[in-house]
Structure formats: structure tokens, C-alpha cells
Structure 1
Amino acid sequence: MDKIIESFIEDFKTEFNYEKIDKSKLFEHYVNYVLISKIYPDRSSLDKINVGGTRNPGIDGLAIMTNNHLVTSQEEVDYFIQDADLLDVEFNFIQSKTSESFDMGDIMTFIASVKEFYKDGELLFEDDLLNLRDLKNYIYKNSIKMEKSPSLKLYYATTGKWLGDINLTTIINSGIQDLKSLDLFSDVKFIPVDGDKLKSLYREIKNKITKEIIFEKHTILPKMDKVTESYLGILPVTELVKVTSDDDGELIKTIFYDNVRDFQGFNKVNTGIKTTIERKNANDKFVLLNNGITIVAKTLNKVGSAFKISEFQIVNGCQTSHVLHHMKTSLEPSIFVPLKLIVTTDDDTINDIIRATNSQTEVKNEAFEILKPFHKKLEEFYLTFEKDVNKRLYYERRSRQYFGAKAKSEKIIGLSTQIASYIAMFLNEPQSTQRYFGELLNSYSNRLFLDNHSLFPYYTSGLAINVIEELFRENKLNYTSKKFKYHLLLMFRIQVAGAKVPINISGNKDNEKYCTKIMEALWDRENALKIFKSLELKLESVLAETKVLNRQAYLTRAFTEELLPTISNAKKEGKLIYYNFQKGFGFIKVNNSEDETFVHYTELSKVKINEIVPGLELLFDIFQSPKGAQAKNIEKKDIVKKSI
């Protein structure tokens, strides 16, 4: 293998702490990372696209993109349908080989596996890929919401050099035609990725993006507090396309990460932008009809009208930038777009700019979430544990906030990971973590990131997901359990600190003590592993008995309800104190406590109707639902005694 690629892979292994993974699997992860980072710059997405396995002979990675977002569940697709009322879908398949040549047999296997993915009937793929196949079917069932059929990209990566061999090209073109004949795609592309490309892609990720533009028509704005320099003017649209394009002419999606509004496709507004460009007699008015672009850069090197910007984000103008990039071959340099260029390193100033420049148009509430003061406080709270390497984590409020700093990637907790871990661990909803984070923010808006919340549960849940990920990376937990990692977090919390969570209010000492019990168990890695291993066995036991389809169990509330009662070693005892036959529910008083728990008639199947009276002694498990404690797995106390 090329020595430079080897060094890049070593760097990748260290950054993500993949020390215990074998070389071939490490290479797959490296390739998936460098390719998908161009499409979706979120570190937490890596695990979602790694699908390589012995039963997936030709597919090592799969990223299904819907409306520019990586999706892995039907709920996420539903969210984007409701949000934009249309679907823009792209399937990205990846096959990786460490060999230094493009092998015809491997390429044919790759194409054949992709074709099998789109066929009906039973397949022997790994569970992760089967679930994504189910998702593919669901997407096509909603094809009425698509303006065009999904696009398909096949990336085949090796460490060798792509020379355009005619025999390989013939095989590839034949495979493309076979896939097109399925009549499922608007476009099919096979993209060979050689060693040189793998190196350049990794350099792009690791290095600060720098672009040079010719910005002749500008004026210097007055000096402002916490702003190094700023300019206002008009920029040729061809220069803007230079800013938004990589070396391959593809759109650099990472520079829109801080934009609060995703590209909305060719809706009415964006179609209007496109029409204005197409109407040559209206080109000169484009600068008057467009709201313009706002670029925030960390550094600027200016020589005359040549502006070299580095570490920049387009924080407003995502729609215009996408449309212009789409039309880049038909743009005239005489067409101008308003540009506001601001140079600052102050995060609060950047947040103010993002909020102000996006206030004129309707933007989803969740887009502004990270700008709230709560997240600044949470970031600072994480840093209070910085001195101890075993406790050290970093909460990343802004994209690439810790880029080039001392923070390793596996120590960084992003917004989507924080949301998922907290909802799973402290709101008892691990099955909901597959939903798009924006939907979770909306659904849990009155229970998440509230100003009066204690910060301890957030750090605790971030620590928990970090520790369990570490144990999976080191192969100390079974890989098959990984899709249930959020369930294991919830089980861990209950096992260590008990099912009843103190009220999450800042200053609540009971809440702090509760979280400290969990944190101490997690900081002791040997103890944490022992607990997680025991919970893993309980998980496997419930999976063996459940009627829920195993590969989809992690997505269902029903499985969560089956799982949680198994954490307690002994059933609770109590007496029925109230029951309403008409409404089908009642309450049980738990012995030796002041607690009462709800009971639904469906849980009393083992008790005869004429025996359901106040004072009836019962044995049961308690499940903490969003509406409160509920009794599950109920049995009459005397029945149990007779069976002993």
C-alpha cells in the first residue's frame, strides 16, 4: 500500500480510536469516511454507513441521502416529506479494496450486489443492509413526492491508479446499462476512486478550505467590535461557483454546515432563481432580484481585488449557491450576486450574523437551536472535566469547532449525538434515536435543552455514549449489539441508579447525586464493561423471546417495553387500589413505598376478571413511560407462590 495512504489511515485510526480493528475493516471505514464526508459532514454518520460484512460481498458502505440528509429510518423520510413536501433522493454505494489494481471480478461483484439490492424477494444480506433495503422500498412507495427518480452512485475504491482500462470501462458501462434498465433511477454513475483521489480527499478533510476570488466591486465597511474586517459588494456568479466547487467540480457541502436552512430543491423560489438566469434579458437584473450571499471567514489574505478566504462558511445564501452551482455551465460572468464578506473568529458574533441574515425568510425553529445560550453553557460544563483524560469530552456547538485542536474525534459530542443520548437515557426513548434530530427537537421541545435544566444529565448521557462506543471499537462488546447501543444506555442508567429519575432542574442535589452514580460507574472502565456485558446478555435473552422482527427491534417501542423490566432482578410487590372496568385502567400501590403505578387492562391477562378488585396482591415489573410509571408482566402473588 502507498506509504502516504498508510500514514493517512494511521492518522484516521488514531483520531477515531480504531486501535483494535483489523486492517481491511479499517480501510473500509477510512474510505467510507473520506467519500461520505464530501456529501454529509457529520462525524456521527460514519457508523450509519458502514455496512460491510460476510453476507454483503460487494457492498462496504451505503449512504441514502434524502433532501441532502443521511437517512436510516422511515421516520426520517416522513419528516422530510412533511417539511418540504418533496423528496430528493440519492443512493451512494461504496466498495473498498486494499489491492493496488482495479479488479474486473470485484467490480462485477460490486455491480451485481447493487442490482440484488434493488430486487424483490429474500436476500441473505447482513441485517444493517436489509434494513436499508426496507428503507429503499419505503422511499419508492413515496415516489409520488419526487420530482425525479432517485440518482445512483457507485464508488469503487482501491489504493492503485485508475487508468481507464478499456476492458474495465466496457464492464462498467454494461453494468450501468443494466442498472438503468431497472427504470428506477434518473441517473447512474460509476466513480472509480484511486489512491491519489483517496489522498486528496483526506487532505481536503484535514486541511482548512481556502479559496481565492476576484472581488473587484466592493466597499470596505467601518470598523466593528470583534470583527477583523468586512466588505460589501457584488460578485460575479462565476466567482461564487469557484468558492462552492471542489477540484472535481462538485459542490462542497461542508461550507453550508452552519447555514440554518438546507437546500429546498427546485421549489417555487428556487425555480424563480433558475428562470431569471435562463432569461438572458433578465440577467442584468439578477443582482437586484436576489437577497445575496453572506460569507463568514476566519482568515483573509487580500491583495488588490484578489481575496483569499480560509475556514469559511456560507451562512446565508444556500439556496442561491445551490441553484447557481446546478447551472454553472450556463452562467455568464456579467451576472452579479450581492455579497457580504465578514472576517471574524468570535463565535457569538457569528451566531448573531447567522440569526440576523436568516430572519427574513421562514426557517425551521430547530435550525436556530445551537445558537441558544444553553449550548454555550453546556460546552463550558463539558470543559470542567477536561483535566482528567478519563472524563474529558468536548461538546461541539459549531461545525469543526475543535478542528486542528487537541480534541480527538472520538472525544467530541455533537448536537445530534447529544440529543439522541439524552432522549434515550433520560427520557426512556431509545427507539426514537433513529429519527432526524430536527424532528426530535420539535417533539421534545418542552423536555430538552430548557434554560432551567441541570447540565449533569447531558454530560452523563454524552459520557455514556462515548464509553459504549469505545467498548464497541475495542471489540469488548458484541458488534451485533451495536444497533441497540441506545437501549443499553437506558438499561445502564436504571441498573446503576434506579428507574426513577429526579426532576431535572438546575441546583437539584438529588439530580446531581443520581447522575454522579452513573458517571462514576462509567469513569471506571472495567466496571462499566462488566455492567454493559451483563446488560448485553439480558438484551440477547429478550431478543431470543420477542415476537418483534429482530433486525428491526431497535426501532420499536414494543421491544423497549419488553426489554426494560428485565433489568430489575426482582419483581415489585403491591396491591390494586383502584380499577375502572369501563375505561380499562387502574392503579397499584407499591409495597414499602409511597409510589403508585398505572396499570392497563392488557397487562392483567393472567388475572381472572372477577378477581380484579381493590386489595388484590400482585407481582409486577415497572416500566417508566413518557406518561409515568406503568406496571408490566403482572401476575397474582398466590399464583407465583404455588408454582415455586
Structure 2
Amino acid sequence: MIKDTIVSGNLQKFQEEYEFAHLTEDVAFEHFVNYLTISRINSQAFDDVEYLEKVNIDNGQNLGIDGIAFLLNNTLVFTDENVQKFKKASEFSSNLSVNIVFTQAKATQGFELGEVLKFTEAVKDFLSDTPVWKGRKELDELRKLKDTILSYETLECVDKTSSPSCTLYFVTAGNPNTDENFDKMVKKQESEIQRALPVLKNVSIQLISKDILNKFYDENQNKIKKRVNFKNRVDLSENGEIKNVGKAFLGYISAKEYLKLITDDDDNFMRNLFYENVRDFKGEDNKVNQEIADTIKDRASKDKFVLFNNGVTIVAKFIDTNFQGGDVQIVNYQIVNGCQTSNVLYLNRQHIGKDDNIMIPLKLIECTDNDITSEITKATNNQNPVPEEAFIALEVFPKTLQAFFDNYSRKAPEKIYYERRSREYDYFSPKIPQSRIFHLHKLIRAVVSMFIEQPHSTHRFPGEIYKQTTSKIFGKEQKMFTKEQSHFPYYTSCYTWFAIEKLILNNDIDKKYKPFKFHLMLAFRLLATNEQMNNFENIGATEKYCSAILNKLWQSNVSLDLFKKACLAVDRAISKHRDKPYYSLNRISEFTETLKEEVRKIR
């Protein structure tokens, strides 16, 4: 039992938000630890709650490892197809980053050497070419994925200066370890793992105590407060003439001071600060990033960095300037532009040290208005090419869609939300459960499953689905999110997803159907109406069509009956594809076609 009040309270909040109240404390703590440690690499790693369940491979079975995660370019991957996508994108530049994360969570009061050794031995066995622990489907599939990621073909695409890396997190709800002999044994285990698998460039075993875990939680909730010297600044808001913006400053800050803003107390790079940045880090081999690094390293050009660099933009909830000497305290902030600069500065921090010659152009803005923050993000990220889907949330249709969700949900039995900007509902009290929040990536998968009839495509990356999915059903432009389209299909598909998750959570539908939830969404639509679907730009007909589906969805007895029929159709489709691996059926287009045939028979 967790005795620390803060850890226990944070865990309870997490369980409420992700609807894990039904789990035992030990299993919930495993999910909590997986969420916090992996979210430090990518704050949006778990944009689908189901990913938390995929990462957890223990579920109270005492295997020695609670979580295993593979991240390519900081993105969770679960299939060979995902890996191939990254390989193709990096085959000529060799800038792919690979992180392998293992977790073990103990709701105990301290560290026991025996438990840590059991964890490290389990990791060694997993990484071995001749594992002892065999026969569990989940582990066997993860080993195959590991072999693909660590294959010669993939490693040829990897940035070999830092990848692949392997991090083991052993987490307890107790006090930190103070035994030097314990630490020496941990270091020995790091060396043994690296010797056993030399391809790993970095191996790190992190012993996480309650204080560090609570710090991880605060960082995840964006409860960040940093004080730095920003004396070289001009006050743009001195006369209060910028509407809906508090303080606003333009100036430059020394690189050593800026590094304080992007690193934690252990000198780790704080990736969560960049979840509003539309570009991810492009790697050290990127031409522009190489030039930034060269400027930092070159003594003759260091002082010209401020002239060469476009700078950084930070948006904060609060900025306190009541300090002497030009200090400012920045609270709950996001770096909306400057991801490349920040990463290169961090990677080359040994060349910065106490050097005050490197100055960073900085725009610091205090703003709590989401729309203004979106405009700032868009305006400061338009100098270079950005993936098309990166700006979708800032366009007209998502704004009106968010209002539609808010207004139309008043008619529904339960409210769901469209999150146009990442984590914008974080500050609502009480916390909104994640199952009720739908962001862009979930929206894409929902619509493609239910209305484009491609539930087998949802394992692909949402940006890829968006770019490659065209259909006449969207209207004249044949793509999602054009302003002429009806909001109803987007809302209807999301509410159907929400309804399925709730039925599974309440055990009204067996959990075995969870891998087929996107197929159930399609089956429900086909069962709920015999009418022909019009294109999304036919506003009146689309509203009528979706309203008929929602009417049945909102009647609990009617919807449950239809979902049970949908489950029966899934069972029958599975029985006709016994020649294929069960775990891959939900990714096969032929399975979707069989499901549709079975729905027609049942209907």
C-alpha cells in the first residue's frame, strides 16, 4: 500500500482521469509509472488510453518487468509497419533515434536490491537472442519487434552518436536509495546489459523515489516554475495596448540562462515543454541544425549566434518580474517555436558552460487565451515547411467543430469534448476523464473507421492516415476538415468511440473486443441505419443521417443491443479468418470486408 500522501493523491487523480478506478492499486501504479516516465520523452505518447494497456506487459503477474516501450523519433511504435515507416524516412539521412524503455513499479517504501536485480535480469533475458522466458504471446511479439528495431537494416538509419538508447526505470513510492554499494551494483548491471548488447549506445538504470515521481507528475501537468536572468529585454506591453495579452517582452538571453528553462534539476531535457511546437526535432544531421551546432562550437562566431538565429518564442501562464537585476520567474510555460535551437543547444551544452557570449533571441509572452496562443504558434512557425496536418488545429473548421461539440453535447446523455489545442482542458476542475476528450489524432481514426470504412488503417500514424485518405464522401475537395463540411459525422464517430469504451469499462461488452473497437464503430453504423450516406457537404442530409445514429446511440438499451450484434459480427468474421494470426486481424482489409458481409446477414 502506498503510504506517501502526495504519491497516493496523484495516483488517485490519474486513475480518475484515465478511468482506472477499477484497477488494484498495484496495477494502477504500474500504469501511472509507465505514463509518467514515457510521457517525459513524448508528452502526447498516450493520446489513446489503449496505448497504456499495450505498454503494460505485467498486469500484476510479477514477471519482473511492468512496462516495455519502443520509441522511434520519440514516437511509440507497436508494429513492424510503424518501424518501416520511420526507416523509409531516415534511410538517406541516418537520423533515426531509438529509445527502448523498461519499467518496474513497486508501491513500496524503498528499494530492495533483490527486486532491482530481478528487474535487470528480466531485461537481460528479454534482450537476449536465447531468452529463457518464452511462451507469452505479448512478450514474444515484443521480442520480434525488438529484433526488427535492432536489425542491421534499421540500425543503418539510426543516428549512431546517441542511438539506440535503453533506459530502465525502477520506481518505488518510498524514499531514495542512500547505499553506495547499492549504487555500485546498479552501475554493474548497466555495464552488463551494454556488454550483452553492444549495439546499445547508452544504457541507464534510473532509481526513482517518491520525490522524483512527484516531480515527474508536476512536470507532466505543466506545473513548471523557473527563474532566469532576462535583463536584455524591451517591454512590449508597457502601455497595456495588446488586447488579451498580459506581459510581453522581446530581447535576448544568454545560452547558459536559457538552458535552465529547458532542463530539469538532473540536467535532463524537458521534452514536455515542446508539445505545442508544430515541429519535432529534426536531428543533429539536419543541415540547419548542423549550422547551429557549428556556430556554438566556433569561438570566432559564438558572439554572432544572436544574429544568425531566428530565436525562441515562449508563452507562459504567468510572468513575475518583481526581482532585481533583470530576473524573471516564468510559470507554466510552453516553447511554441524554437524546438531545433533548443535541442541543439542542449546537445552542445558542454561547449557553452559559463560562456556568456552566446545569446538567444527571445520573445516571452504571458497569455491565457488559447486562440491567441494558437495564432502565435502559427505565426512563429511559418518560416519553414511544416507537415500539412500540423496546422489543422489552428484553422477555421476545428474552431467551429469545438463549439459544435460543446453545444450539441447539451442534448446528449453525456458530454464529450473536442480538444483543438493540446491539453487545453488540463486546467478544468474537476478533471475531465480522458475517455471524453477527443483531439485531432483520435478524430482522424474515428472518422476513417466509421465513415470511410477503414478500421484496419487505424494502427498507422494519424498524420499518415490524414494525408493518404481521400474520399468523395468528404465532398468536392475529398479530404477531411474542410469548412464546407457538416460537423455531425465527426461528433457522431467520436461519441460512438466513447460509448464503446464505456460499455467495455462497465463490462457490458467483453474486454476481448477492445482490439476491434474501430470495427465495432463501423458495424454499429451499418446496423443503426439502412440509409445511404451522403457526402459531408450535404449538410441537411448528413445531419438527418447522423441524428438517426445518435438517437439509437443515446438509448442505452437500443445501443447495447446493436453493439452486441456488432460483437457477433466480429466473432463470425474472426471464425472465417482462422488461417491468419489473431493479433493482426484488426489490421487486415479483408477482415473488414468480411465483417461488413456478416453485418448485412445479421441486419
TM-score, scaled relative to structure 1: 0.83
Match of 1:420 in 2: 445
State the alpha-carbon separation in 2 of the partners of residues 389 and 150 from structure 1.
48
State the alpha-carbon separation in 1 of the partners of residues 508 and 135 from structure 2.
24
Cα gap change, 1:271 to 1:177, in 2 (>3 Å):
same
Correspondence for 1:345 among 325, 347, 368: 368
Contact 2:446 2:497 in 1 (8 A): yes
Percent pairwise identity: 33
Match of 2:154 in 1: 142
Q: For structure 1, list consecutive stretches of 5 or more residues without a partner in the other structure.
A: 572-644
The 5 A counterparts of 1:379-418 are: 379-387=402-410, 390-406=413-429, 407-418=432-443
SS in 1 for 2:279: coil
User: Deviations along 1:406-439, whole A, 9 cap, x unmatched?
Assistant: 4333321111111111111111111211111211
SS in 2 for 1:491: helix
State the alpha-carbon separation in 1 of the partners of residues 557 and 206 from structure 2.
45
State the alpha-carbon separation in 1 of the partners of residues 438 and 141 from structure 2.
26
**Greater Cα offset, 48-57 or 30-39:** 48-57
Correspondence for 1:210 among 208, 217, 225: 225
Q: Which amino acid aligns with 2:359?
A: F
The 5 A counterparts of 1:211-360 are: 211-221=226-236, 223-266=241-284, 267-303=286-322, 304=324, 305-331=326-352, 332-360=355-383
> Counting strand residues as a fraction of each chain, which structure ranks higher?
1
Match of 2:399 in 1: 376
* Structure 1 position 118, deviation (Å): 2.8
Contact 1:32 1:46 in 2 (8 A): no
User: Deviations along 1:349-368, whole A, 9 cap, x unmatched?
Assistant: 32222222222212222211
SS in 2 for 1:142: helix
State the alpha-carbon separation in 1 of the partners of residues 274 and 201 from structure 2.
25
* Structure 1 position 76, deviation (Å): 3.2
* Structure 1 position 70, deviation (Å): 2.1
Contact 2:318 2:366 in 1 (8 A): yes
* Structure 1 position 145, deviation (Å): 0.7
* Structure 1 position 144, deviation (Å): 1.0
Q: Which amino acid aligns with 1:508?
A: G
State the alpha-carbon separation in 2 of the partners of residues 436 and 189 from structure 1.
29
The answer on 1:61 being equivalent to 2:67 is yes
Q: Which amino acid aligns with 1:64?
A: F
Q: Which amino acid aligns with 1:459?
A: Y
The answer on 1:47 being equivalent to 2:66 is no
State the alpha-carbon separation in 2 of the partners of residues 135 and 551 from structure 1.
14
Match of 1:630 in 2: none
**Greater Cα offset, 532-541 or 554-563:** 532-541
State the alpha-carbon separation in 2 of the partners of residues 423 and 126 from structure 1.
32
Correspondence for 2:27 among 25, 28, 33: 25
SS in 2 for 1:341: strand
State the alpha-carbon separation in 1 of the partners of residues 411 and 34 from structure 2.
32
SS in 2 for 1:417: helix
Contact 1:104 1:168 in 2 (8 A): yes
The 5 A counterparts of 1:439-478 are: 439-444=464-469, 446-478=478-510
SS in 1 for 2:252: strand
Match of 2:122 in 1: 113
Structure with greater Cα Rg: 1
SS in 1 for 2:65: coil
Cα gap change, 1:435 to 1:53, in 2 (>3 Å):
same
Match of 2:574 in 1: 543
**Greater Cα offset, 439-448 or 529-538:** 529-538
Contact 1:93 1:153 in 2 (8 A): yes
Cα gap change, 1:521 to 1:30, in 2 (>3 Å):
farther
Q: Which amino acid aligns with 2:424?
A: Q
TM-score, scaled relative to structure 2: 0.88
State the alpha-carbon separation in 2 of the partners of residues 325 and 489 from structure 1.
45
What's the C-alpha RMSD, in Å, of the aligned pairs?
Answer: 2.5
User: Deviations along 1:177-216, whole A, 9 cap, x unmatched?
Assistant: 3321222311111111222222222233335322222111
State the alpha-carbon separation in 1 of the partners of residues 270 and 43 from structure 2.
10
Contact 1:56 1:125 in 2 (8 A): no
State the alpha-carbon separation in 1 of the partners of residues 159 and 569 from structure 2.
47
Cα gap change, 1:398 to 1:558, in 2 (>3 Å):
same
State the alpha-carbon separation in 1 of the partners of residues 571 and 112 from structure 2.
40
SS in 2 for 1:434: coil
SS in 2 for 1:44: coil
Figure out how many residues of one structure are paired with residues of the other and give that number: 570
State the alpha-carbon separation in 2 of the partners of residues 45 and 39 from structure 1.
16
Contact 2:218 2:224 in 1 (8 A): no
Q: Which amino acid aligns with 2:493?
A: S
Cα gap change, 1:247 to 1:531, in 2 (>3 Å):
farther
State the alpha-carbon separation in 2 of the partners of residues 101 and 247 from structure 1.
22
SS in 2 for 1:39: coil
State the alpha-carbon separation in 1 of the partners of residues 533 and 134 from structure 2.
42
* Structure 1 position 494, deviation (Å): 1.4
Match of 1:99 in 2: 108
Contact 1:153 1:188 in 2 (8 A): yes
State the alpha-carbon separation in 1 of the partners of residues 367 and 24 from structure 2.
43
* Structure 1 position 219, deviation (Å): 1.2
* Structure 1 position 293, deviation (Å): 0.7
Cα gap change, 1:174 to 1:535, in 2 (>3 Å):
farther
Match of 2:98 in 1: 89
* Structure 1 position 498, deviation (Å): 4.1
* Structure 1 position 521, deviation (Å): 3.0
Cα gap change, 1:23 to 1:429, in 2 (>3 Å):
same
User: Deviations along 1:71-95, whole A, 9 cap, x unmatched?
Assistant: 2233433443444543111111111
Contact 1:256 1:315 in 2 (8 A): yes
Cα gap change, 1:121 to 1:464, in 2 (>3 Å):
farther
User: Deviations along 1:332-353, whole A, 9 cap, x unmatched?
Assistant: 2331011112223333332222
Match of 1:195 in 2: 210
Q: Which amino acid aligns with 2:403?
A: E
Match of 2:585 in 1: 553
State the alpha-carbon separation in 2 of the partners of residues 58 and 532 from structure 1.
38
The answer on 1:361 being equivalent to 2:384 is yes
Cα gap change, 1:209 to 1:97, in 2 (>3 Å):
same
* Structure 1 position 59, deviation (Å): 2.5
Contact 2:98 2:164 in 1 (8 A): yes
Contact 1:49 1:62 in 2 (8 A): no
Correspondence for 1:186 among 201, 206, 213: 201
SS in 1 for 2:212: helix
Match of 2:540 in 1: 508
Contact 2:248 2:364 in 1 (8 A): yes
Cα gap change, 1:131 to 1:537, in 2 (>3 Å):
farther
State the alpha-carbon separation in 2 of the partners of residues 247 and 531 from structure 1.
53
Q: For structure 2, list consecutive stretches of 5 or more residues without a partner in the other structure.
A: 471-477
SS in 2 for 1:339: strand
**Greater Cα offset, 144-153 or 337-346:** 337-346
State the alpha-carbon separation in 2 of the partners of residues 526 and 14 from structure 1.
26
**Greater Cα offset, 48-57 or 67-76:** 48-57
Q: Which amino acid aligns with 1:524?
A: Q
